[in-house]
């Protein structure tokens, strides 16, 4: 006796299997169905693959081949397995395809559900899959959405077999049938063959009943007066809808237009009944098979439904029976106000979402496996968060998944942020893959640089902090120059570098994106003169067309390396701005990108938020800020200590604006739980092999006391590039959570203008505008920028009155316009600790003018919780600037004053303490006295 399924085949209906799975294929399950049940096709969809691959180990062997590659994306990893399954299934069905001469024997693979609303991307993806699977009996599944329909026409015209999926309404079916015919007609016009192009139109059945029945049940439960009429059509609408689609099909193939194509050998686009597993357990499990049997159709069945039909299905030509009854059912549905049009429209949308959700789940699972497999090659991250924050983070990750944040970030969708010009600032994504720089040119440059003992980089903010991290964490290769970074106007610091080098035999890297920043321009002029005007010892890194580019040409620089104007300074370290100095230090740039790649791919567009280390971190930072934990406290192990200076700029300048944002706290010694308020998030960056120094214990105590703690582990220094990228993604995402544009810096300009005004006035008059101190003696002068709340008493009283204003959630900043050296750093750290422990407030510190191009944005534009002590001193000795009346010391003072004015104008609480002899010990004594007052 032939099986019931085979009898279906005899009745003219093809039986396909709505299922794929590696184990099943390996066990020859498909071959068995072909042999025993006359099976002639297979369909897959994202949910089917999610079930197959999303859990368990069946695919691990296949995954491993990809997981080992640092630069394989999650999609590559998953897709290779899906393609292998589809190829396997296609090969199992190949004898059927050959026997039936291409009339059947197909296997379907669906384009990414993420592309359902993008015609061109769908076309490109379908072509790619067609080529990758490389089997004549493949059908590419394309959704019959508004965007999918034109893609179907073009793909058919390309000669690609298409399974149109997610069809629910008559209108959509008619549109795709038209697209199919038009595609074939186009080929005819072009003289291309049409006899081997197969297509099916997958009409989804059970999902319609599930929706309509739900509406019916709700109304019946509410005691609808039409209860009987409603009940009479329960479970009948989807079948009626399918029957009428078949009526349309029959009319279509009887028409002249189709007959003309048929005469040329065209195969009709068969109707395929999909979604035929019953969703309502009250229905017979073979309902959507028994009722839809008709010639030249396909029914794709999940295994359970197939087993049920084999066991107790009924074979009879039912599809063409009682068409009037079907019309009546639909007319009744209309009369009863059951809006089939709306239901089918909604089902298209929810169908796309459902498959996208499945794809997210699958990609998330693969991403998790991938990250685990990479082990130490991918920097690790764990988080211990208080329960409420943890909940908020997970909720954010889920909405971010549903709203496709990972993909939208990479696609440059400005709607993720403020809908402004954010898309223009995403060049750093490609740069991280090494695509911005000319790696060969950098290698040559690195070779040439070996003739120098020292290299000095002149630049500010994003143009200096990344290179400094690279030099302090990676260091120069043997035989390559040592890199000194000068991002200051402090005469002492400039003199220190000058004394450490032979200026006539040093490589100078002048680095400025805009090419018009004051500090590098003054430093360039200074060192150009010291180097005897040897332009050949200078290179510039700058964006195309800048003023610096012109200067470099004028002065005969050895090279100009171009940046990408689509990258802001603080996101530029993985572009020329980091890699030119890296090459100068003899760092192998190609190897650096290779080491960075695992994080770039782990944070890729296809890694859903929860499994994406950058997006996850961004969600933590953003949600923490939202509950007032806006002080990101950076706690590195010794080997990673320099990283914080780069991170500070990224976080502060990106998020600190419009009164919102995150205030980074770097280099603040770790304290006990009592020394902190409830405004902190701690991030521990640990380099394997670094001494613990009791840090772990201290951090454990903080986490136990309810402070959020993020722990990042870095297996070796060479992996530092991964942290650059992770934090760039995290910052962009935190910006999205906070609701600001993370790529602009609206408040930096004002301080620059204020400074320029003071310097210009000096150039004319030879003196800075006079100012009146609140207090002055032989050692110090105190200025309060017109703050009338402070009385001109003694210094301890003034400072103590100022510090008394520090409350919960506030932070104290020491803005020191002095040389950045170890002694000053230590003194400032002591002052910070004293204030932090006495007031339980966060403390930050910056050396001026370096911080102006970094954290300065947040201090001015971020949360209005800052209180600042600006420290200046009389420059001694000072340094002249060629062609300028103002010295470096004067410029630095003007910068401090400009900054003070702008901070005060923004309503921030600020005090300037001028230490005439630059003695920070005096400040320490003052602070101690003020805290005890
Ligand atoms: O590279 P540039 O254009 O000299 O800018 C240096 C730095 O100054 C800033 O514009 C802030 O003043 C930063 O964003 C930037 O990294
Ligand atoms: O082509 C097959 C369809 O993707 C499948 O039948 C959908 O079935 P479902 O509605 O049960 O998910």
Evaluate: CB of 129 within 6 angstroms of ligand 1.
no
Ligand 2: list residues with CB < 6 Å.
18, 43, 45, 47, 165, 202, 204, 206-207, 274-275, 277, 300
What ipTM score was computed for the predicted complex, to two decimals? 0.93
Asked if residue 895 has its Cβ within 6 Å of ligand 1, the reply is no
Q: Are residues 53 and 182 in the same domain?
A: yes
CB 652 within 8 A of CB 464: no
Gap between the Cα atoms of 893 and 874, Å rounded: 8
Residues 6+ positions from 664 with CB-CB distance below 8 Å: 631, 632, 634, 644, 647, 648, 651, 652, 844, 855, 858
Helices (H), 134-255: 148-157, 170-190, 206-221, 227-232, 237-254
Look up residue 571 and give its DSSP letter: G
**Ligand 2, atom nearest to 202 Cα:** 1
Whether 144 and 289 share a structural domain: yes
Is residue 356, in this structure, part of any structural domain at all? no
Q: Is residue 365 part of a domain?
A: no
Rounded distance, CA 135 to CA 138, Å? 6
Close Cβ partners of 885 (under 8 Å, ≥ 6 residues apart): 762, 763, 766
Looking at residue 609, the DSSP 8-state letter turns out to be G
Strands 380-384 vs 709-714: parallel, antiparallel or unpaired: antiparallel
DSSP label at residue 660: B
Catalytic residues: 141
What is residue 789's predicted lDDT score, i.e. its pLDDT?
A: 80
Indicate whether 151 pLDDT > 80.
yes
- Tokens for 238, please give them: 């989807």
H-type helices in 640-784, by residue range?
A: 643-655, 695-704, 720-738, 748-765
Residues 405 and 527 in one domain: no
> Is there a domain that residue 367 lies in?
no
- Asked if residue 362 belongs to a domain, the reply is no
Provide φ and ψ at 301, rounded to 5°.
-120, 140
**CA–CA distances in Å: residue 459 to residues 210, 420, 433, 435, 517:** 64, 28, 24, 23, 8
User: Is there a contact between 272 and 16 (Cβ–Cβ < 8 Å)?
Assistant: yes
Question: Could you tell me if 491 and 892 are in contact, meaning their C-beta atoms sit under 8 angstroms apart?
Answer: yes
What's the CATH number where 710 sits?
Answer: 3.40.50.10490
Distance of alpha carbon 466 from alpha carbon 788, whole angstroms: 41
- What whole-number percentage of the chain has pLDDT above 70? 100
**Counting ligands in written order, which one lies closest to the CA of residue 646?**
1
- pLDDT category at 69 given cuts 50, 70, 90 is confident
275: CA distance to ligand 2 center in Å? 4
Looking at the structure, tell me whether residues 542 and 626 fall in a common domain.
no
Which bound ligand lies closest to the C-alpha atom of 849?
Answer: 1
Indicate whether 663 belongs to any domain. Answer: yes
Within this chain, do residues 550 and 638 fall inside the same structural domain, yes or no?
Answer: no
Same domain, 505 and 641: no
Domain end, chosen from 593, 618, 638, is at: 593
Q: Per the domain annotation, does 361 fall within a domain?
A: no
Render 766-816 in DSSP notation, one character per residue. Answer: SSPPP---SEE-SSEEEE-TT-TTS-S--HHHHHHHHHHT--TT-EEEEEE
Mean per-residue pLDDT of the chain: 96
User: What does the pLDDT read at residue 250?
Assistant: 97
Alpha-carbon distance of 31 to 37, in angstroms, equals 10
Residue of minimum CA distance from atom 12 in ligand 2: 275
Contact 116, 172 (CB under 8 A): no
Q: What is the pLDDT of residue 693?
A: 81
Residues 588 and 675 in one domain: no
Domain tally, the chain: 4
Task: Give pLDDT, residue 750.
Answer: 81
- What does the pLDDT read at residue 1? 60
361-381 confidence digits (pLDDT tens): 999 999 998 888 889 999 999
Write down which residue in 350, 365, 385 finishes a domain.
350
Structure tokens at 766: 């030879």
Query: Within a domain: residue 882?
Result: yes
Specify the pLDDT at position 933.
87
Residue 342's SS3 state is: helix
Residue 114 maps to a domain: yes
Q: Among 11-25, 95-109, 193-207, 768-782, which is the least confidently predicted range?
A: 768-782
CB proximity list for 249: less than 8 A, separation 6 or greater: 177, 268, 271, 296
* Closest protein CA for atom 4 of ligand 1: 512
Q: Is the pLDDT score of 71 beyond 80?
A: no
Q: Which tokens hold the place of 665?
A: 């706290």
Cis peptide before 829 (omega within 30 of 0): no
CA 363 – CA 78 distance, rounded (Å): 7
| Lowest-confidence pick of 190-204, 480-494, 739-753 | 739-753
Q: Which of 738, 764, 787 is the last residue of a domain?
A: 738
Nearest CA to ligand 1 atom 9: 853
For residues 487 and 469, membership in a common domain is answered with yes
| pLDDT of 889 above 70 | yes
pLDDT exceeds 90 at position 68: no
Q: Which of 428, 465, 514, 575 to mutate to test the pocket of ligand 1 (most atoms within 8 A of CB)?
A: 514
Domain that holds residue 690: 374-419+597-738
Which helix (H) or strand (E) is 402 found in, with range?
A: helix 387-402
Burial class (CB in 10 A: 0-12, 13-18, 19+), 472: middle
DSSP string, 19-59: ---HHHHHTTHHHHHHHHH---EE---HHHHHHHHSSSSTT
Q: Which of 746, 745, 744, 756 is nearest to 901 (CA)?
A: 756
Residue 876 has what pLDDT? Answer: 87
Q: Is any ligand 1 atom within 6 A of the Cβ of residue 517? A: yes
Whether 113 shows a pLDDT value over 90: the answer reads yes
Q: Supply the CATH number for residue 211's domain.
A: 3.20.20.70
**pLDDT at position 2, please?**
81
Residues 532, 457 share a domain: yes
Distance CA 650, CA 730 (A): 10
DSSP state of 860: H
pLDDT value at 791 more than 90 = no
Nearest CA to ligand 2 atom 5: 275
Q: What does DSSP say about strands 909-915 and 780-783: parallel, antiparallel, or unpaired?
A: antiparallel
Beta-sheet pairing, 454-459 with 507-511: parallel
Confidence check: pLDDT of 508 > 90: yes
Output the residue whose Cα is nearest ligand 1's atom 12: 853
Q: Tens digit of pLDDT for each residue in 429-450? A: 999 999 999 999 999 999 999 9
Residue 710 C-alpha to ligand 1 middle, in angstroms? 29
Q: Tokens 């359902």 label which residue? A: 116
* 48-52, 91-95, 96-100, 471-475: the lowest-pLDDT one: 48-52
The number of beta carbons lying within 10 Å of the beta carbon of residue 525 is 16
Query: Using a 6 Å cutoff on CB, does residue 460 contact ligand 1?
Result: yes
Centroid of ligand 1 to alpha carbon of 516 (angstroms): 9
Residue 673 has a CB neighbour count (10 Å cut-off) of: 13
Pocket test for ligand 1, best of 425, 428, 463 (most atoms within 8 A of CB): 463
**794 and 877 fall within a common domain:** yes
pLDDT attached to residue 72: 82
Q: Whose C-alpha lies nearest to ligand 2, atom 8?
A: 275
Residue owning tokens 């070996």: 450
488 and 614 belong to one structural domain: no
Cis peptide before 849 (omega within 30 of 0): yes
State whether 784 and 904 are in the same domain. Answer: yes
Closest ligand 1 atom, residue 752 Cα = 12
Structure tokens at 405: 């944040």
């Amino acid at each position: 006796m032939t099986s019931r399924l085979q009898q279906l085949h005899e009745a003219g209906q093809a039986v396909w299997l709505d299922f794929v799975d590696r184990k099943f294929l390996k066990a020859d399950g498909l071959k068995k169905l072909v042999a025993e049940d006359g099976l002639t096709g297979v369909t897959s969809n994202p949910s089917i693959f999610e079930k197959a691959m999303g859990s368990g180990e069946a695919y691990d062997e296949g995954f491993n081949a990809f997981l080992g590659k640092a630069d394989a994306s999650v999609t590559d990893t998953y897709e290779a397995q899906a393609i292998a399954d589809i190829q396997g299934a296609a090969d199992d069905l190949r004898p059927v395809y050959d026997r039936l001469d291409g009339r059947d024997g197909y296997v379907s693979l669906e384009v990414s559900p993420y592309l359902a609303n993008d015609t061109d991307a769908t076309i490109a993806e379908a072509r790619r899959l067609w080529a990758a699977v490389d089997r004549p009996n493949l059908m590419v599944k394309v959704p019959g959405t508004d965007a999918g329909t034109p893609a179907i026409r073009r793909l058919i015209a390309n000669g690609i077999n298409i399974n149109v999926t997610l069809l629910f309404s008559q209108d959509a079916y008619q549109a795709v049938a038209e697209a199919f015919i038009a595609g074939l007609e186009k080929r005819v016009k072009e003289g291309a063959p049409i006899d081997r192009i197969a297509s099916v139109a997958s009409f989804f059945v059970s999902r319609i009943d599930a929706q309509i029945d739900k509406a019916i049940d709700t109304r019946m439960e509410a005691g609808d007066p039409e209860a009987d009429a409603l009940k009479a059509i329960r479970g009948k609408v989807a079948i009626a809808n399918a029957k009428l689609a078949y009526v349309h099909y029959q009319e279509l193939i009887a028409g002249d237009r189709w007959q003309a194509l048929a005469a040329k050998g065209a195969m009709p686009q068969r109707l395929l009944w999909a979604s035929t597993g019953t969703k309502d357990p009250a229905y017979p499990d073979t309902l959507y098979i028994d009722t839809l049997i008709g010639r030249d159709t396909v029914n794709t069945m999940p295994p359970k439904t197939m087993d049920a039909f084999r066991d107790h299905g009924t074979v009879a030509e039912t599809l063409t029976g009682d068409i009037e009854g079907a019309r009546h059912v639909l007319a009744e549905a209309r009369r009863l106000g059951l809006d089939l049009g709306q239901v089918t429209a909604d089902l298209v949308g929810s169908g796309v979402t459902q498959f996208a959700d499945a794809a997210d789940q699958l990609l998330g699972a693969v991403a998790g496996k991938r990250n685990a497999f990479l082990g130490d090659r991918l920097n690790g991250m764990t988080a211990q968060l208080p329960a409420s924050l943890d909940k908020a983070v997970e909720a954010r990750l889920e909405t971010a998944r549903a709203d496709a944040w990972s993909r939208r970030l990479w696609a440059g969708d400005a709607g993720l942020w403020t809908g402004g010009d954010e898309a223009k600032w995403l060049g750093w994504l490609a740069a991280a893959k090494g695509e911005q720089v000319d790696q060969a040119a950098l290698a040559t440059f690195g070779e040439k640089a070996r003739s120098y003992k020292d290299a000095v980089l002149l630049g500010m903010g994003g143009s200096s902090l990344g290179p400094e991290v690279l030099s302090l964490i990676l260091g120069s290769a043997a035989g390559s120059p040592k890199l000194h970074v000068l991002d200051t106007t402090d005469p002492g610091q400039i003199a220190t570098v000058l004394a450490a080098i032979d200026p006539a035999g040093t490589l100078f890297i002048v680095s400025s994106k805009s090419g018009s920043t004051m500090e590098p321009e003054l430093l360039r002029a200074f060192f150009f003169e010291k180097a005897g005007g040897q332009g050949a010892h200078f290179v510039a890194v700058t964006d195309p067309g800048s003023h610096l580019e012109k200067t470099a040409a004028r002065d005969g620089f050895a090279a100009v390396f171009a940046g990408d104007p689509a990258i802001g300074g603080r996101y530029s370290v993985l572009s020329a701005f980091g890699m030119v100095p890296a090459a100068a230090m003899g760092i192998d740039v190609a190897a650096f990108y290779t080491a960075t790649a695992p994080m770039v791919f782990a944070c890729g567009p296809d890694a859903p938020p929860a499994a994406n280390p950058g997006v996850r971190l961004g969600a933590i930072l953003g949600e923490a800020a939202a509950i007032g934990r806006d002080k990101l406290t950076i706690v590195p192990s010794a080997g990673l200590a320099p990283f914080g200076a780069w991170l500070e700029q990224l976080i502060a300048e990106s998020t600190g604006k419009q009164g919102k944002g995150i205030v980074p706290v770097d280099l603040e010694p770790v304290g006990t739980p009592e020394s902190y308020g409830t405004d902190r998030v701690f991030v521990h960056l640990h380099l394997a092999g670094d001494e613990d120094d009791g840090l772990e214990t201290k951090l454990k105590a903080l986490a136990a006391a309810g402070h959020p703690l993020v722990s990042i582990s870095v297996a070796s220094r060479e992996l530092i590039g991964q942290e650059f990228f992770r934090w760039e993604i995290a910052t962009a995402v935190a910006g999205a959570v906070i609701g600001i544009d993370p790529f602009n810096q609206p408040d930096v300009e004002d301080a620059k203008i204020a400074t320029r005004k003071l310097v210009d006035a000096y150039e004319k008059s030879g003196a800075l505008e006079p100012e009146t101190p609140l207090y002055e003696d032989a050692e110090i002068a105190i200025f309060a920028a017109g703050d009338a709340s402070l009385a001109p008493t003694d210094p301890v009283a003034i400072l103590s009155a100022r510090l008394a204003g520090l409350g919960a959630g506030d932070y104290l900043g020491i803005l020191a316009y002095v040389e950045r050296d170890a002694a000053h750093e230590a003194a400032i750290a002591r002052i910070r600790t004293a204030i932090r422990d006495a007031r339980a407030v966060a403390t930050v510190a910056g050396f001026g003018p370096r911080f102006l191009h970094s954290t300065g944005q947040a201090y001015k534009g971020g949360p209005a919780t800052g209180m600042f002590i600006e420290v200046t001193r009389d420059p001694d000795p000072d340094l002249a600037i060629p062609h300028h009346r103002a010295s470096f010391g004067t410029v630095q003072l003007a910068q401090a004053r400009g900054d003070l004015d702008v901070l005060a104008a923004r309503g921030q609480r600020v005090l300037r303490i001028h230490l005439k002899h630059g003695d920070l010990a005096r400040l320490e004594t003052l602070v101690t006295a003020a805290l005890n007052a």
